[in-house]
């Protein structure tokens, strides 16, 4: 029987992994993906909305994104939001759609992106380790109260360590894949 605390720790580690995947998807790797625009918020009728809720986003070519708003009135607002964002891409509008040409990455920019990927991965690893520490602390408190024996404590800590190793390995795999994607010319 799996301890509910161990299940909870695993769920939290999964969430951490999902956050890292989303962060990596938003990093520009010289290839156009609609995920690049996930963090771009548009002021639309007084409220901030993500671009993907206002328009259809497609990638017809490897280095081109096409944004087709459902409401033509949102077009200038989407353009402004893209210009304000940290994407560093100038939108080209023809009155019905916005085209974003993703420039080829320089070697310097690739190296910079790899550093960003490694930093985000390390933040993820730290989050996973914090989950492990918090879970182990809870087990130690339970043992002090007499709710767990020493053998049970050790077994539960080993389970949590196996989960930690598994998720850190997955993060490392994600980093390796993203680095390879970024460094591809």
Reply yes or no on whether the pLDDT at 156 is more than 70: yes
Give start and end residues of each alpha helix (H) in the chain.
4-25, 75-84, 107-144, 150-183
Give the separation between CA 77 and CA 8, rounded to whole angstroms.
42
Contact 37, 26 (CB under 8 A): no
What's the confidence (pLDDT) of residue 137? 93
Question: Strands 64-69 and 92-93: what pairing?
Answer: unpaired
Contact 63, 104 (CB under 8 A): yes
**At 127, is the pLDDT very low, low, confident or very high (cuts 50, 70, 90)?**
very high
Terminal C-alpha separation, the chain: 49
Reply yes or no on whether the pLDDT at 164 is more than 90: yes
Give the separation between CA 167 and CA 17, rounded to whole angstroms.
7
What's the confidence (pLDDT) of residue 29? 64
Burial class of 124 by CB neighbour count within 10 A (0 to 12, 13 to 18, 19+) = buried
Name, in order, each residue with C-beta under 8 angstroms of 4's C-beta and a sequence gap of 6 or more.
Answer: none
The mean pLDDT of 143-161, rounded to a whole number, is 91
Contact 131, 122 (CB under 8 A): no
Reply yes or no on whether the pLDDT at 39 is more than 70: yes
Query: Could you identify the residue written with the tokens 């497609």?
Result: 58
More confident: 28 or 44 = 44
Output the pTM of the full model.
0.70
What's the confidence (pLDDT) of residue 65? 87
Sheet with 64-69: list strands edge to edge: 55-61, 64-69, 98-101, 92-93
What's the confidence (pLDDT) of residue 129? 95
What's the confidence (pLDDT) of residue 166? 94
- Domains with residue ranges and CATH for the chain: 4-25+106-183 (1.10.132.20), 42-101 (3.30.1360.40)
Reply yes or no on whether the pLDDT at 90 is more than 90: no
Residue whose C-alpha is closest to residue 48's, from 72, 78, 25, 19: 78
């Amino acid at each position: 029987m799996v301890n509910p605390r161990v299940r909870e720790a695993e769920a939290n580690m999964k969430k951490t992994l999902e956050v890292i995947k989303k962060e990596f998807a938003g990093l520009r790797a010289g290839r156009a993906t609609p995920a690049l625009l996930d963090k771009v918020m548009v002021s639309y009728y007084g409220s901030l909305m993500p671009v993907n809720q206002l328009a259809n986003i497609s990638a017809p070519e490897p280095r081109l994104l096409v944004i087709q708003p459902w409401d033509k009135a949102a077009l200038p607002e989407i353009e402004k939001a893209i210009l304000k964002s940290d994407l560093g891409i100038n939108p080209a509008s023809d009155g019905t759609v916005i085209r974003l040409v993703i420039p080829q990455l320089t070697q310097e920019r690739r190296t910079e992106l790899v550093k960003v990927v490694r930093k985000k991965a390390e933040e993820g690893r730290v989050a996973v380790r914090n989950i492990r520490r918090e879970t182990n602390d809870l087990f130690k408190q339970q043992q002090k109260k007499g709710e767990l024996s020493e053998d049970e404590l050790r077994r539960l800590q080993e389970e949590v360590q196996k989960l930690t190793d598994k998720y850190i390995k997955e993060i490392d795999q994600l980093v390796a894949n993203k680095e390879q994607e970024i460094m591809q010319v």
